[in-house]
Amino acid sequence: MTALAERLDHITASATMAITARAAAMRASGVDVIPLSAGEPDLPVPDPIKKAAVDAIMADRTGYTAVDGLPALKQAVADKFSRDNALYAGPDQVSVNSGGKHTLFTVFMASLRPGDRVIVPAPYWVSTPAMVRLADGIPDVVPTSAETGFKLTPDALEAAITHRTRWLVLNSPGNPTGAVYTAAELAALGAVLARHPHIWVLSDDIYEHLTFTADGHSTLAAICPDLASRTVTMNGVSKAYGMTGWRIGYCTGPKALIDAMATVQSHSTGNPCTISQIASLAALTGDQTCLAERRAVYQARRDMVMDALPRLPGLSALRPDGAFYIFLDARALIGASAADGTRIEDDTALTRYLLEHAHVALVPGTAFGLGGHVRLSVTAAESRLATALDRLATACNGLR
């Protein structure tokens, strides 16, 4: 067998996708598994967006586009950042990519040199450290805790910075915790970054429209405009409009980096799917009332799970301020045993037990850099979510 690349030595497949695949296999075999593992909205894509895609196909608008996006879509993205985020950049400072994950990956591929370091607060999205390593960078994982709301503090940021630090990754609302940085908290982090002009910021705002706080969503480049020249703000259509499989992400940032991303993309994916771009244009320029309606659904489901926690012995959680996840503290269940002798050695064993016995798929916190926890996605209809909570209550009560 041909030797594999060394860059893969410390990288494993996404735990979220692995668990989702296992749950899908069980469902295919006839097991009634409730998948609460993937970050995939269950609400349908709004009809006008789907119609735009169908119309594009019927009109044979299916050829290649510019590598980093249709000019009309890039303009719509620029307008969206202006409208929603007070970020004012032209379409030449916009990159459109094959999904939000591809946006982040392309940023790192275009900017990291071997040995560059990237500050990644934990818990983190499962793919962030892996993408840094694939781009020959070094992730510097900085733990956060429930005591700080799972948010990076200025002191922790300052302590993590070295002369090789190239990027700070901020994700708000956060995956897996649902943590939301306030404007004041972003300003405090910005004050630290102002003292270190060699550090760039990657602001991952993919859950922007799923913010449940009264103050709404804030993004770093708007709160700290002096940092805009070294900040990339990314977003996409997957979480807001439920367009996960359509694979369109986008970002705005300094033109030199945006141009470099286009070079990378020209030799990797080429342009994002043309049909998906046309549908995304319809999403960004059409009626936006669906966003508030979808947010209300996920907020109600969040409240439903939080209200049910007293019925789930051994599980607790901070109330998330955004996204559609509950990051459950399961440390009280580690070391417990089931009636059949199954021992819960760690959070991975717990998710395996819950999948096999309760037929509910969750993701272990270890995948996000914080063991002893599990992530639950509220991406199922209320009736299915209620059934899942009943099953989890039975399974947790069965552990001693």
Query: How does pLDDT run across 229-255, given as a tens digit for each residue?
Result: 999 999 999 999 999 999 999 999 999
Predicted local confidence at residue 17, as pLDDT = 78
Among 202, 41, 234, which residue's Cα sits nearest to residue 119?
Answer: 202
- The SS3 assignment for 350 reads helix
- pLDDT of residue 95 exceeding 90: yes
Radius of gyration of the chain (CA): 21
Q: Is the peptide bond before 129 cis (omega within 30 degrees of 0)?
A: no
How far is residue 362's CA from residue 364's CA, in Å, rounded to a whole number? 7
* Closest among 188, 179, 186 to 149, alpha carbons compared: 179
Please state which of the ranges 5-9, 56-60, 148-152 shows the lowest mean pLDDT: 5-9
> Who contacts 129 (Cβ-Cβ below 8 Å, separation ≥6)?
120, 139, 141, 369
Residue 355: CB atoms within 10 Å: 22
d(CA 382, CA 352): 24
pLDDT at 107: 98
| pLDDT of 24 | 87
Q: What angle in degrees, to the nearest 10, is found between the helix axes of 100-111 and 255-266?
A: 100
Give me the chain's average pLDDT, please.
Answer: 96
Q: Among candidates 120, 118, 129, which has minimal Cα distance to 166?
A: 118
Whether 22 shows a pLDDT value over 90: the answer reads no
> What distance in Å separates the CA atoms of residue 296 and residue 289, rounded to the nearest whole number?
11
Over residues 167-177, mean pLDDT:
98
Regarding beta strands 94-97 and 249-252, do their DSSP bridges make them parallel or antiparallel, or are they unpaired? Answer: antiparallel
Confidence (pLDDT) at 119: 98
| Residue 230 buriedness (CB in 10 A; 0-12 / 13-18 / 19+) | middle
The contacts of residue 135 (CB under 8 Å, 6+ apart) are: 105, 108, 109, 112
Q: What pLDDT score was predicted for residue 1?
A: 60
Predicted pLDDT at 64: 98
Separation CA 37–CA 352 (nearest Å): 12
Cα(73)–Cα(335) distance, integer angstroms: 52
Antiparallel, parallel or unpaired: β 200-204 and 231-236: parallel
21 band by pLDDT with thresholds 50, 70 and 90: confident
Pairing of β 165-171 and β 200-204: parallel
Q: So what's the pLDDT on residue 8?
A: 87
CB 334 within 8 A of CB 340: no
State pLDDT tens for residues 308-338: 999 999 999 999 999 999 999 999 999 999 9
